[in-house]
A and B are shown apart, each in its own frame.
Chain A
């Protein structure tokens, strides 16, 4: 196994608010292989966006604060650094696209200029060359009539088209990693499928790695090589896409799966929601974060953090007492 492109270790992020300190991310580790797609899954507020955005310094500081951990790209630390080997981390090494394309582009700037901007900045390209390149990038993102479109403004585009523009923007400087933070949540389903397949094509073409943040397991199944399941600011399970879907080890992952609609006879299947709500991250629980909602909770879960247990397959790991020999059923 080769060295991962990106290694995140024990990352913790906190936010100071009026009500106290929110421990949004509480020691998260994962790694990303070259050319692979890693999906970060979890419900709203589980820290998945904060975790990934903090890697590239996108969370506002203050009130945000990275309290510990490290993130290494090509083996070199990037947390707290703007550049790596003379290249900017943000925009040049790592590109990003966001949830709502309608508001993620500057409303008073031409589309072409917004794509050309990082080229002028990081590559020192002249404006006219950068504009030409922007048109090529639009074509690459399958925007029709790119030359004409480059001269238009965001309000003249539809949501799906704007997400293509965002992709062109993020890929302008040929980053090694593309972070997509819920890229299809604001789009309707047909457009969603187009955007996903575009991202996958571009990823394969460029041998780029992709970090996909989503709460949509359907998207995960379609895109991901590896999956990180997060809950209450912690990673509860990691593994290949198959591990997560076919032999999920954590009760939360299992819960997510049974809450997902399947392509079967509707009358035969009832969706099972996960009862309750996530714990308060102002004062996170001492033991397992999922304790209150877990159908298989044991006494040990309340007081002690579950260990990270390897489950057979090489990458499959799960943080749950159920897989630890020390915890017996009668506990």
Chain B
């Protein structure tokens, strides 16, 4: 088990290194640089600035310095925001995105499992048809539409009640978190519902379910003890990639709900070619996702003894 974990971690570090390298070179091959805006018109000023940031050095050397800094945990200073360390940006804004993302994943996973199980239990009957209709909506409608709809319905609700039970936008309390994370998780929830439905249907016809019936268990006992755990397995498998989709997809929802998450910096930095922020956020996100996928794989063994590593 420890050997396996260790191996996976090494693989993860290699993956992150690959992400860092690819990002570094792609970023530098894009025309322009962080200094090519109106303020640095004079040739001399430009030279001075390049020297100050080390951009006059050969690319290979920059790359070497960069890797060394990442390894020591220093992601550098932003080009566009004065004197702001990338580490500070992440420290300040990532917890916001993480809280949003984690809650969204929880909504998506619980919702997906619950709705999926329900549709399978009521196969081809009314609840199944209704839920599957919403699932198709959830899969095909983009999240900013749900975000706007969510806000609209909140405004209407608050207006109708005369008080504000849930804030429409902004950040600061748990109430601020609920609707955005639900919106963020909807697409994944729909996807997981479909997955759970098909795996539940498969499990329902399994021989061991018949054995459980032969033992005299009733439908509820069979569902809880025998079907659920086996049906969840495929859902858990895709949870790693699902976490990736949700955390990187958070940007749009963060913008619509005016949430100060990391997603905004991630996108803005690319537009402004803010080298250090691009590198910092990409490497950080990459590392986070790789770690989550490893964690999911390790957790999988807890549920399915067949893949447990000794």
Q: Which A residues are within 8 Å of any B CB, using their own CB?
A: 56, 58, 88-92, 95-96, 98, 100, 103-109, 117-118, 121-122, 153, 155, 166, 169-170
Contact = CB atoms under 8 A, between A and B. Distances in A.
A90 B215 contact: yes
21 contacts: A58-B210, A88-B216, A89-B216, A90-B213, A90-B216, A91-B214, A91-B216, A98-B207, A98-B214, A103-B207, A105-B208, A105-B211, A106-B211, A106-B225, A106-B230, A107-B305, A108-B303, A109-B226, A121-B215, A153-B305, A170-B214
B221 interface: yes
Residue in A89, A103, A108, A122 whose Cβ sees the most chain B Cβ within 10 Å: A108
Nearest to B306: A155
A122 B215 CA distance: 9
B249 to A, nearest CB: 32
Contacts of B211: 96, 98, 104-106, 166, 169
Given A108-B305, A121-B221, 6 more contacts: A90-B213, A91-B214, A95-B214, A105-B208, A108-B303, A109-B226
Interface in B216-236: 216-217, 221, 225-226, 229-230, 233
Contact of B206 (A58, A103, A169, A170): A103
Interface string B273-310: 00000000000000000000000000000011110000
B208 A107 contact: yes
Nearest to B303: A108
A104 B306 contact: no
Contact of B226 (A56, A89, A92, A106): A106
B214 A96 contact: yes
A109 B214 CA distance: 17
B201 interface: no
Query: Interface residue tally of chain B, by bracket?
Result: 20 to 34
Contacts of A90: 213-216
B310 to A, nearest CB: 11
Contacts of B215: 90-91, 117-118, 121, 169
A12 to B, nearest CB: 22
B154 interface: no
A99 B227 CA distance: 20
Main secondary structure of the interface of B (DSSP, over half): helix
A170 B207 CA distance: 15
B305 A155 contact: yes
B241 to A, nearest CB: 22
Contact of A98 (B210, B217, B229, B305): B210
A121 B216 contact: yes
B212 interface: yes
Task: Please provide the 8 A-B residue pairs with the shortest distance between their CB atoms, ordered closest to farther.
Answer: A91-B216, A96-B214, A103-B207, A90-B216, A91-B215, A88-B216, A153-B305, A106-B208
Contacts of A108: 229-230, 233, 303-306
A157 to B, nearest CB: 12
Residue in B211, B214, B303, B306 whose Cβ sees the most chain A Cβ within 10 Å: B214
Nearest to B208: A106
B306 A153 contact: yes
B305 A117 contact: no
Nearest to B206: A103
Contacts of B229: 108-109
A100 B210 CA distance: 12
B216 A104 contact: no
Contacts of A100: 207
Residue in B221, B233, B305 whose Cβ sees the most chain A Cβ within 10 Å: B305
A96 B207 CA distance: 12
B214 A56 contact: yes
Nearest to B216: A91
A104 B210 contact: yes
Interface in B192-217: 206-208, 210-217
A98 B208 CA distance: 10
Contacts of A109: 225-226, 229
A122 B216 contact: yes
A57 to B, nearest CB: 8
A112 to B, nearest CB: 13
Contacts of A121: 215-217, 221
Contacts of A98: 207, 210-211, 214
Contacts of A117: 212, 215, 217, 225
Contacts of B207: 98, 100, 103-104
A109 B233 CA distance: 13
Contacts of A122: 216
Contacts of B225: 106, 109, 117
A185 to B, nearest CB: 13
Nearest to B214: A96
A107 B216 contact: no
A108 B303 CA distance: 7
Contacts of B226: 106, 109
Interface in B86-145: none
Nearest to A88: B216
Contacts of B233: 108
